[in-house]
Chains A and B, each alone.
Chain A
Amino acid sequence: MFELRLVQGSLLKRVIDAIKDLVNDANFDCSSTGFSLQAMDSSHVALVALLLRSEGFEHFRCDRTFSMGMSIANMAKMLKCASNDDIITIKADDGTDTVTFMFESPSQDKISDIEMKLMDIDSDHLGIPDAEYEAIVRMPSTEFGSICTSLSTIGDTVTIAVSKQGVTFSTKGDIGSGNITCRQNSSTEKPEEATIIEMKEPVVLTFALKYITTFTKATSLSSQVTISLSSDMPVVVEYKIAEMGHIRYYLAPKIEE
């Protein structure tokens, strides 16, 4: 038996919104550690890893480790039936091919029971080694989102260059080119507005903007984003989910042919 209860139901809605444009179907892994997912986009260029730790839920019961295959698009449709302030309970029994979502209004005067069919999904987990990154940039997530949106109106790729001067995001397209530099700014009184750059080596990497822009759908989950870069390695774009875990996106870089 598996049952989890999340008082802040809007969080699950935001998590699914942050995944649904990247992944069609995915196995959610349930264990005593929590509720997690690892999935690639259909072209295997990007990977998303979600972790929601059991301690972050008001109630979490998972008798044995198992996976639930779900269509993310269908899950998003089901979660549309929940209001933002609803409490969400997810339940599944051993051996059944359905999952139940229960949405309770805070005053308990409305309860919705939604049943969704599970799917068999064949997917391998990839081993992601713990790596030391050459450069780590922490910046406001809204700032990163607006940079990606702005640059994607000009070009299809973004080159991220980290140096002592700061982090520069640049693009080039048919109509012209643009670059935006953010300098370290840790003196601000509000930590969520800080930009902090930890650099061991200067790094320059180029990525497809369409994927990076999809990652920024997670902006509402965290006020800060962490971008970790090493030469010839996938970038990691991480949004922490307060008291619960994180959503991490990995994107393979482009190389000169």
Chain B
Amino acid sequence: QQKQQVISRFFAPK
């Protein structure tokens, strides 16, 4: 089973 990660895990709000 694979889990989809979200973008905010990698890029923080400016």
Contact = CB atoms under 8 A, between A and B. Distances in A.
A157 B1 CA distance: 12
Interface string A68-93: 00000000000000000000000000
Interface string A174-210: 0000000000000000000000000000000010100
Q: Which 4 A-B pairs have CB atoms at the shortest separation, nearest pair first?
A: A126-B11, A124-B13, A252-B5, A254-B2
Interface in A225-242: 233-234
Interface residues of A, number: 24
B5 to A, nearest CB: 4
A128 B14 CA distance: 9
A256 interface: yes
Interface residues of B, number: 14
Contacts, number: 57
Nearest to A44: B6
24 contacts: A40-B7, A43-B6, A44-B7, A44-B8, A46-B7, A125-B14, A126-B12, A126-B13, A127-B11, A127-B13, A127-B14, A157-B2, A208-B4, A233-B10, A234-B10, A252-B5, A252-B6, A252-B7, A252-B9, A254-B2, A254-B4, A254-B5, A256-B2, A256-B3
Contacts of A44: 6-8
A256 B1 CA distance: 6
A252 B4 contact: yes
Interface of B: 1-14
Contacts of A56: none
B11 A253 contact: no
A126 B14 contact: yes
Nearest to A250: B7
Contact of A257 (B1, B12, B13): B1
A214 to B, nearest CB: 15
B13 A255 contact: no
A234 B4 CA distance: 11
Contacts of B7: 40, 44-47, 126, 234, 250, 252
B6 to A, nearest CB: 5
A111 to B, nearest CB: 40
